[in-house]
Each structure stands twice: as C-alpha cells, then as structure tokens.
Amino acid sequence: MQGFALSVLARVRVVLVSTSHPGNIGAAARAMKTMGLLRLTLVTPKSFPHAEAAALAAGAHDVLSAARVCGTLAQALEGTVASFGFTARPRELSHAAVDVREAAAEALVAAGVGDVALVFGGEMSGLSNEELIQCGRLVHIPTQPAFSSLNLAQAVQVAAYEMWQAAAGARLERPPAVPLATHEELEHLFRHLEQVLVSTGFLDPAHPKRLMERLRRLFVRARLEREEINILRGVLTAVEDFRRRNSA
C-alpha cells in the first residue's frame, strides 16, 4: 500500500457512542488496528478504562490507550470534514443509508483533505435519530434480512476492512490544499440558517416537517469549502440586517 494511502487512513477516527460493554471497546480497537485505523474516540462509555477492554484488545493496546473520551457526539466530531453514521435499521429520516462499500469510497476521498469519522451507536439501540442527523451520511452494512444483527465490534471490523480495501485499491493522488468546512462550521451554518428561516416565516417551528434535515443533506452533499460557508453566512447576515432596517 502506498505511503500516502496509509497517511489518509490515519485521518479516519472511529467513534463509539454510549458503549455498554467494555469488551466491545477492546474488540473494536483490535478490529481497527488490523486494518490500519488507529484513532478511537469514545462518547460517554459506560465503563472505560476497564480490564475486559484491555483483555480483548489483544495487541491493540496502543489504540486503546490513545483513545479519546468525549462527553458529546458533537465534541467527538469536531474538526471532521465528513462523518458517517452506521445504522442497522430503517429510520424516519429524510435521506436513505448508503452501502458500507460506497461509504468507504466516499470516506477515503474525504480523508484526502481532512479528518473523517465512522460513527457507531450503543449495543442495544444504536445511534438515535438526533445523533444520526449530526452525521453527514447514513451507512448500513448489508446482511441477510432474516438476521441482520451484528455485534458492535463486528460492525467496526466490516467498516475498517472496507476502508482498508478502498485505500489498497485506490490510485490516490495528493489533493489540492482546499480547506473543506469542518463539522462545527457546518453546524454553525445550520443554526444560523434555521434562525433566519424562522424569522422570515419560511420555517414554522411548530410544524418544521423535515425541512432542516433536507437542507442538511443538501449542504453535506455539496461538500462545502470553508470560504463557501463564509459566503453563505454573509448572505444570511445581510438578510438579517435588511429585515432589521426595514422593521425599524
């Protein structure tokens, strides 16, 4: 594998949200290391550090010891230019999940210019709708429909394998240094946009339907650059200033 491909994989972080069983954390760390993913982030784990996590890491103790622990998913996604939320079941959201292989190819391209997150929920119910909305893409792992339940560490292994295969098969060229918008910059845009849409009457907060979900999907798909975010927020600010002048 090319050295540049390995450096791209180094920009991929695996985020585990509300993990209940410490053994799954250790097993996930082992799954990651076998496929060249070394950055583990934990959001409100029930028990960590823990002896069971260390036992099941089996040679991936470096990944485990370097794991970052965060209090919120938003904190875990800070600095990323793309995030992929894994879900095992259909959700009442405005956009459908993509296949894990397709997601890996997209994630690899995004990792060429910035940090990427692969996000997995807890063992019992996975990621909530609110958590999935924070992720730019929804991802599913195709399985036999009659028995579609994967263990958390197994799901991480499949996703890590697809990332490794995508990197191994890609003819990667060094991308231009284009600063894409980070997760938090996009979140600021979405909050600003929602505020303006409510103030103009375009969005009824009592009956929002899925407008903001669809707008999120649109802007995430566009892979906005930082400068483009600044332009859009400048437009929103101009709308706010215009309304203030004409309401005085």
pLDDT score of 184 more than 90: yes
Mean pLDDT of 159-174: 82
- pLDDT at residue 147 in the model: 82
CATH of 3-169, one of 3.40.1280.10, 1.10.3720.10, 3.40.50.2300, 3.40.1440.60: 3.40.1280.10
What pTM did the predictor assign? 0.89
pLDDT single digits (tens) 77-103: 999 999 999 998 766 676 778 999 999
Q: Which helix (H) or strand (E) holds 193?
A: helix 183-200
Domain ranges in the chain with CATH number 1.10.8.590: 183-247
DSSP 7-65: HHHTTEEEEEES---HHHHHHHHHHHHHTT--EEEEES-SS-S-HHHHHHHTT-HHHHH
Q: 19-40, pLDDT tens digit by residue?
A: 999 999 999 999 999 999 999 9
Whether residue 175 is predicted with pLDDT greater than 70 in this model: the reply is no
Mean pLDDT of 229-241: 95
What tokens appear for 195 in the block? 């505020």
Structure tokens belonging to residue 143: 């399985």
The answer to whether residue 233 scores a pLDDT higher than 90 is yes
**pLDDT: which is higher, 199 or 4:** 199
CA 151-133-198 angle, to 5 degrees, is 165
List the structure tokens of 200.
Answer: 């103009």
- Candidate CATH numbers 1.20.120.160, 1.10.8.590, 1.10.238.10, 3.40.30.10; the one for domain 183-247: 1.10.8.590
Dump pLDDT digits (tens) for 137-163. Answer: 999 999 988 887 789 999 999 999 999
Q: Considering only CA atoms, which of 96, 121, 113, 117 is closest in space to residue 163?
A: 117
Distance CA 56, CA 132 (A): 28
> Which residue would you say has higher pLDDT here, 75 or 113?
75
Beta partners for residue 140, in sequence order:
99
Give the whole-angstrom CA distance, residue 148 versus residue 57: 25
Q: Where in the chain is CATH 3.40.1280.10? A: 3-169
Mean pLDDT of the chain: 91
